A and B are shown apart, each in its own frame.
Chain A
Amino acid sequence: MLNTSLVLPMSLSQRGEMTRRSLLQRSAAGLLASGVWSRIGLHADEVKREGKACILVWLAGAPSQMEMWDPKPGTGNGGETKAISTAVSGIQIAEYWPKIAKQMKEIALIRSVSGKEAAHERGSYHLQTGRRLTGSKDFPHFGAVVASRIGDRKSDMPNFVSVGETLGSGFLGVNHAPFIVDRPGELPENVASATSPPRLKRRLELLREQDEDLSEAGAKAIVEEHSKLYERANKLMTSPRLKSFELAGESEPTFEAYGKSAFGKGCLVARRLVESGVPFVEVVRGGWDMHNNIYDRIKTNAADVDQGLSQLLADLKQRGLLQKTLVICMGEFGRTPKINSRDPKPGRDHWAKNFNVLMAGCGVKGGRAIGKTNDTGQEITDRSVAVEDLFQSFCHCLEIDATENLYSPAGRPMKIVDGGEPIKELFA
């Protein structure tokens, strides 16, 4: 059970959210509304979880737990994969992750996550929102929740950046939507203004009036969103922090340490963005859907992620950022412990019964592996962890009140996390 000191008082924030909503509903244009907020200084009272951030390394396609943090060498299901020792005695991981092994003191592995969805779309939705997909697909990605809870609303940078495509912010709207980076390391396109600042200001003023007319004509929701986007885009264009997207000034040794792959660059960009105050960054690495040829494919995939992720942890620690930055590495589910017989070489299929998640930083005590599976890797024998428990734990690290309500457009209250408890073994 969770002790009470872990729960932060969040009433102010709750009240703030309600007030903002009703303000939004009353005002015709989003631009106007945001002006009102800042004038009456609602934000000043909000509890600030200063400096906390989260980096999600998303392994799209569902990585194999047997080839990651829960190898079963010498068993039939274990296959070719050998185990290696780590910096923490008693914890072994798959041979493909030598650099992660060295960082084990910072890392907590969960070997007993028990999911419910074994199809990509549904699994991704579950593991990115904490909710199962039922009809409406409008629940926000966790990054959008973090952006809305701990992101600075007046920020000139997006509060949720994703290197690679990801799920959207659902009903939390465009203010908390992921800003997608296609080419990590480069400045986002079209951020240089086409005209002088005073002229742009005049144009935006005319644009606001133009859009207000459409809002009155019946397109309220579209105009509200449009205004927010233009406001944010305008801020981003002049942000001094834009350069944190760019890797131009980084040294050769830094590039080498992170790896020169797109994933390595993505991790470096993530570190720079977090350092500049962006509270949630996702870095996507695909290619884990290894129905066949798993032993060849795992090597190249793991090599990129082993290098980028381990260096990210090391770099965050060295800069003193790791204690405030939660790093999560996971995919949408796991893979079958039994090896299939596909052509030309075997692989593993979809499996949600037990899979692995890696966590580090932001209060997570490293050097531990939580949960166990049996020798065949098919049954959890110790400490089953539900997806909701994971999200409770993420919230706990980031000091987000998981019981707080989010409101759907129809006004239906939905808790940030529905059920579950933080995994106390992560923090004890």
Chain B
Amino acid sequence: MLHRAHRFRFVILSVVSLGIVMGTAWPHQAQAQSQGKKSDKKSDKKSEKKKDNKAAAQQASLKLPPLKTPEDKLKFLEVIRDSMPTRKLTSTVSYTPSDLDKALTFELKLPADKYAKPISDERFVRRAYLDLTGTPPSAKVVTEFVQSSETRKRAKLVDELLDTDDYARRWARYWRNVIFFNSTAPRNKVNPQALEDWFAKEFKNNVPWDRMVSEMVSQTPKFNKAKKDDNNEWGQKYGPNNFVLAYDNDPTDIASHTARIFMGINIQCAECHDHPFDKWKREQFHELAAFFAPNKYYMPDKDDPSQKSEMHAQFLLGEKPPPGLKPDALRVAVAAYLIYNTDNYWFARAYVNRIWNELIGDGFYSVDSLGPDKESLHPIVLNRLASLFRYKNFDHKWLFRTIMNSETYQREIRTIDERDEFFSAVRPMRLNADEVAESIEHVAGDLGRLTRGVQKTFKQDPSKPQADQRGSMQQALLLMNNAPLQKQLKQSELRKKLVATKSNEQLMKDLYLGALARSPTEKEMTRGLSHLKKSGSREDAVDDLLWVLTNSAEFITKR
């Protein structure tokens, strides 16, 4: 299986490696290529690479436009982006959800009865809402969706939800959490909300992933004392500044989190761990860090930190920027190497794997702990998705559509212990803190100050595999007993409606639709009706049932 993956990768790379050439990949050349000189490029590469490297690089550094403002940087990266041969392939490559299913089925080699059953419309609508908007669907939405006889209604729902502000906000929050969960910066130097708002705007406009990452990685926020009163002395109010600020502008931290979040690899391991990434040694890590240094960058000696050696910026795959670049331009260079060198397949793969992990419940490898082929499941499927994501111009919505319209996504849940059965069912997932807060508000109405408490109590590391996420006693206690929450449930619209409903059957239907976005099963109906009958007070019985559903495992689970 392994060697097949490698061959596959080789094919992909030979198709696309006409673009930015490792080592000599400074943008002016890319620009030249896009103007029609690319035919000779490849044959020249080997013989002249070494000889020309220095001279070309120096020339390049002279020709650089100023790269001070974010606009300069983006414009410059745009030139590189446009030179990518993959852009021209985009329109001709097609890959449907059923291609994905076929590829996975072929890889999994499981008997048909091992696959979980397809989900009902009711299940689909809650799952899709949670995944794309972070909130459960209203009773009305569920009912209408189930009743609708439209063809392709699931695909249409996905399309609709991808166009909502809630979609943009849900994923903005996710990425804010990914970046800030491991933040080392003091609170007054960052503005996570600004980052979230910026993400939301970008997702709303479906700005491709490469653009978003290049903007974050290439920022060089500078201290400006005059803006201190405005809490903006580091430019933290400008959203994309907050990636580097989250790691306190520290070169080594930025380097390790760039590799972790945007390439899915834990590069710090290379220091002390036998992995295929062995080739990325301590020195290479510090060469990556050198891209983010404001001045010269030194690597401290392992044994004696007072002894240091100067390190020159060099990207993990060997790309060296021309000498003498200013810090602003260095960060643009590292963004270009990270994103636009098609040999760096880790970049697209890390994104695909994260989204897959969020939607299916297991990643092809655990999201940010180094993803060498050895540890990736079904690399042929993952690499295919990742390279297509690149061909499709890093279009988020393409990826969501491809996954969510597949049979793989639309299967019932099952707790899977064996890795070789991953993806034959969807893993039931604990809702994240934001989704829990939204779900509570969905039933109880606006939580006001309590929202914070819920978010804190249900906080989880978004980069940890779903199977390793755990609940806590504090979470149970909050949902069981929190006085303001219980009070608000009593005053909620849903409760009012339920108490006023004459028919007990109707009450049960509305209760389950309102709290769990589905109809009750026969068993649940019988149980509920019996409780309503037995209780002395109808209001008490409604309170009991509401309590039970808001405390149920299902309430905080994506099924």
Contact B473 A158 (CB under 8 A): yes
A135-B369, A338-B304, A339-B306 known; A222-B483 Cβ under 8 A: no
- Verify if A10 is at the interface (C-beta below 8 Å from B): no
B461-481 residues with Cβ-Cβ distance < 8 A to A are 464, 468, 470-478, 480-481
- Verify if A174 is at the interface (C-beta below 8 Å from B): yes
CA distance A277 to B105 in the complex (A): 54
Among B425, B471, B559, the one with the most A-chain Cβ atoms within 10 Å of its Cβ is B471
CA distance A341 to B470 in the complex (A): 43
Residues of chain B lying within 8 A (CB to CB) of residue A169: 470
Residues of chain A lying within 8 A (CB to CB) of residue B552: 207, 210-211, 214
Q: Give the interface size bracket for B toward A.
A: 35 or more
CA distance A206 to B545 in the complex (A): 8
| CB-CB nearest 8 A-B residue pairs | A219-B428, A190-B477, A226-B553, A218-B413, A233-B476, A218-B414, A349-B305, A221-B415
- Verify if B430 is at the interface (C-beta below 8 Å from A): yes
CA distance A219 to B473 in the complex (A): 19
Contact B481 A174 (CB under 8 A): no
CA distance A199 to B524 in the complex (A): 19
Minimum CB distance partner of A215 in chain B: B553
CA distance A189 to B482 in the complex (A): 8
Q: Give the interface size bracket for A toward B.
A: 35 or more
- Verify if A251 is at the interface (C-beta below 8 Å from B): no
Contact B544 A202 (CB under 8 A): yes
* Contact pick for A177, options B273, B470, B483, B547, CB 8 Å: B470
CA distance A339 to B306 in the complex (A): 7
- Verify if A105 is at the interface (C-beta below 8 Å from B): no
Residues of chain A lying within 8 A (CB to CB) of residue B474: 179-180, 188-190
Contact A232 B473 (CB under 8 A): yes
A216-274 residues with Cβ-Cβ distance < 8 A to B are 217-223, 225-227, 229-230, 232-234, 236-237
CA distance A378 to B369 in the complex (A): 32
Among A116, A138, A349, the one with the most B-chain Cβ atoms within 10 Å of its Cβ is A349
CA distance A189 to B523 in the complex (A): 35
The minimal Cβ–Cβ distance linking B184 to chain A, given in whole angstroms, is 9
A143-194 residues with Cβ-Cβ distance < 8 A to B are 158, 168-169, 173-174, 177, 179-180, 188-194
Contact A209 B557 (CB under 8 A): no
A189-B478, A210-B554 known; A194-B483 Cβ under 8 A: yes
Minimum CB distance partner of B527 in chain A: A209
The minimal Cβ–Cβ distance linking B193 to chain A, given in whole angstroms, is 23
B291-323 residues with Cβ-Cβ distance < 8 A to A are 300, 303-306
Contact B470 A174 (CB under 8 A): yes
Minimum CB distance partner of B182 in chain A: A121
- Verify if A425 is at the interface (C-beta below 8 Å from B): no
A218-B415, A378-B303 known; A213-B473 Cβ under 8 A: no
B95-117 residues with Cβ-Cβ distance < 8 A to A are 116
Contact A222 B300 (CB under 8 A): no
Contact B548 A203 (CB under 8 A): yes
- Verify if B549 is at the interface (C-beta below 8 Å from A): yes
Contact B531 A206 (CB under 8 A): yes
CA distance A342 to B477 in the complex (A): 47
Seed contacts A135-B375, A226-B471; 10 additional CB < 8 Å A-B pairs? A191-B481, A192-B483, A209-B527, A211-B552, A219-B428, A219-B554, A220-B415, A226-B553, A232-B473, A341-B306
> B residues engaging A (CB < 8 A)?
116, 268, 271-273, 300, 303-306, 366, 369, 375, 412-415, 417-418, 425, 428, 430, 453, 464, 468, 470-478, 480-483, 486, 521, 523-524, 527, 531, 540, 544-545, 547-549, 551-554, 557, 559
CA distance A353 to B552 in the complex (A): 49
- Verify if A287 is at the interface (C-beta below 8 Å from B): no
Contact A222 B553 (CB under 8 A): yes
12 A-B residue contacts at CB 8 Å? A119-B271, A122-B268, A189-B477, A190-B482, A194-B480, A211-B554, A218-B116, A229-B471, A232-B476, A237-B481, A349-B305, A410-B418
Contact A210 B481 (CB under 8 A): no
Residues of chain A lying within 8 A (CB to CB) of residue B545: 206
Contact A233 B415 (CB under 8 A): no
- Verify if A340 is at the interface (C-beta below 8 Å from B): yes
Contact B473 A116 (CB under 8 A): no
Contact B471 A190 (CB under 8 A): no
* Contact pick for B559, options A136, A219, A378, CB 8 Å: A219
* Contact pick for B547, options A119, A180, A203, CB 8 Å: A203
CA distance A173 to B480 in the complex (A): 21
* Contact pick for A237, options B425, B428, B477, B540, CB 8 Å: B477
Contact B553 A218 (CB under 8 A): no
- Verify if A409 is at the interface (C-beta below 8 Å from B): yes
The minimal Cβ–Cβ distance linking A386 to chain B, given in whole angstroms, is 16
CA distance A116 to B471 in the complex (A): 31
